[in-house]
Amino acid sequence: MTETLTISRAEYDALTDRVEDLEDILAAMNARGGQPMPLEWAGRIINGESAVRVWREFRGLSLRVLAAKSGVNTAYLSEIEASKKPGSVEAYKALAEALDTSVDWLIL
């Protein structure tokens, strides 16, 4: 027996919009030659989580390791991830290099 679920048109539209957003992100990543990010990770960014944090965790790095690898101060990196500070262009360039991605993916 197949289970069915009924949702409103607004809920359906919201779900399909989010799927399209995720598909757009993954397609753009693949077009740029980047490593594909699983939908669950990309979804965290779409839902408003810090792209820097998501990429850091996706790469399996702690905050301190990323700070050391990028040369960005640990406290400053923490503030960028928490959206307490916007982060400088130089910081984003260093973080992107350390995360093996582009600045574009960190400032979505």
| C-alpha distance from residue 91 to each of 30, 73, 83 (Å) | 25, 9, 14
- Residue 48: which domain range? 9-106
Number of domains within the chain? 1
Dist. CA 79–CA 90, nearest whole Å: 15
Average pLDDT along the chain = 86
The token duo for 37 is 């990010």
Within-domain flag for 1: no
Within-domain flag for 84: yes
The pTM (predicted TM-score) of the whole model is 0.68
Mean per-residue pLDDT, 63-68: 96
pLDDT in tens, 16-46: 877 777 777 666 666 555 556 788 888 898 8
| Residue 48 belongs to domain with CATH number | 1.10.260.40
Within-domain flag for 88: yes
